[in-house]
Amino acid sequence: MLLKDKVALVTGSTSGIGLAIARALAAEGARVMLNGFGDKAEIKQIRDEIAELSQDLASYSDADLSKPAAIDKMIATCTDELGSPSILINNAGVQHVSPVESFPADKWDLIMAVNLSAVFHTTRLCLPSMRQRGWGRIINTASAHSLVASPNKSAYVAAKHGVAGFTKSVALEAARDGVTVNCISPGYVWTTLVENQIPDTMKARGMTREQVMNDVLLSAQPTKRFVEPVEVASLALYLCRPEAGSITGANLSMDGGWTAQ
């Protein structure tokens, strides 16, 4: 198996894209540390599934990534229980939609903390052992919104542009150490987060499900279909392969053509 004896920390892996990435890495033998919020029994089930997939240890941290001290503790626990991570997937993210002049300051701070500052904290804590080992992979889930904007998403767009810039800078710093640093920028991905928006939008706009999906959510996405979490996971897994060793500092779009327009 490709990732046998490698330790992968996947933030925001209790659902959606992060869970798909955790599954893909575990299926290649990685020892995975999960992180994110959710129902305790469901998380236990996910942890068991991941351990079964990898035929190795799996662990879970409930760290709230908006809190730097909790991030410190999560990395220390991961190192104690599984080993220091040589694969770091910065995936946790939150969103809030509001015009800038009425954007709640606490939501701005939360989005910056989880979507951007947490990426800095995990990276600064994990990079030294990757360098020592001479091998590492840092993969950040950015977004099409790291390249282009939409109205009413100022905090998210600013944070994701920040992730793209941070990725490039750290890639240059680690370029001679066997550590690659990249981001993946999906368009709309079919996760419960997106699925849950559909009924309310149908009601609010008097639209059918098809109309909401095509004219609202997928209006910017030329393929008119959602990206699947497993597609993002496959690209993340590819970036962990030896033949991806020269891909670093890249912002890899997976957006059905959105940012080609």
Q: Which residues are catalytic?
A: 156
Binding-site size, ligand NAD (CB under 6 A): 28
Q: Which listed range, 13-21, 48-56, 81-89, 171-179, lies at the site for ligand NAD (CB under 6 A)?
A: 13-21
CA angle, 29 then 63 then 196, to 5°: 85
Pairing of strands 87-90, 58-61: unpaired
Is 89 a binder of ligand NAD (CB under 6 A)? Answer: no
* Contact between 251 and 182 (Cβ < 8 Å): yes
Q: Is 91 in the site for ligand NAD (CB under 6 A)?
A: yes
Sheet holding 31-35, edge to edge: 58-61, 31-35, 7-10, 87-90, 136-141, 179-186, 251-254
Q: What are phi and psi of 34, to 5 degrees?
A: -90, 160
Alpha carbon 185 to chain centroid distance?
Answer: 9
Out of 59, 86, 117, 143, which residue is the one contacting ligand NAD (CB under 6 A)? 143
Q: Is 117 in the site for ligand NAD (CB under 6 A)?
A: no
Calpha distance 25→243 (Å, rounded): 16
At 184 the three-state DSSP class reads strand
Strands (E), 104-164: 136-141
Smallest gap from residue 121 Cβ to ligand NAD (A): 12
Out of 31, 33, 47, 66, point to the residue binding ligand NAD (CB under 6 A): 66
Q: How far is the CB of 132 from ligand NAD (least distance, A)?
A: 27
| Interaction between residue 59 and ligand NAD (CB under 6 A) | no
Position among 60, 108, 188, 258 found at the interface with ligand NAD (CB under 6 A): 188
Our finding on whether 14 is near ligand NAD (CB under 6 A) is yes
Among 8, 58, 114, 164, binds ligand NAD (CB under 6 A): 114
Please tell me whether residue 49 binds ligand NAD under the rule CB under 6 A: no
Where is 252: in which H helix or E strand?
A: strand 251-254
Asked if 186 is part of the footprint of ligand NAD (rule: CB under 6 A), the reply reads yes
Residue 258 binds ligand NAD, judged by CB under 6 A? no
Per CB under 6 A, 18 contacts ligand NAD: yes
Residue 162 lies near ligand NAD (rule: CB under 6 A): no
Beta bridge partners of 244: none
Helix or strand (DSSP H, E) at 158: helix 154-174
- Least distance (Å) between residue 143 CB and ligand NAD: 4
Residue 129: partners with Cβ closer than 8 Å, 6 or more residues away = 79, 84, 85, 86
Say if residues 155 and 197 touch (Cβ distance below 8 Å): no
Q: Which of 192, 196, 246, 261 binds ligand NAD (CB under 6 A)?
A: 192
Q: Please select the residue that binds ligand NAD; options are 17, 50, 125, 170, rule is CB under 6 A.
A: 17
- What is the contact surface with ligand NAD in residues (CB under 6 A)? 12-18, 35-38, 64-66, 91-94, 114, 141, 143, 186, 188-189, 191-194
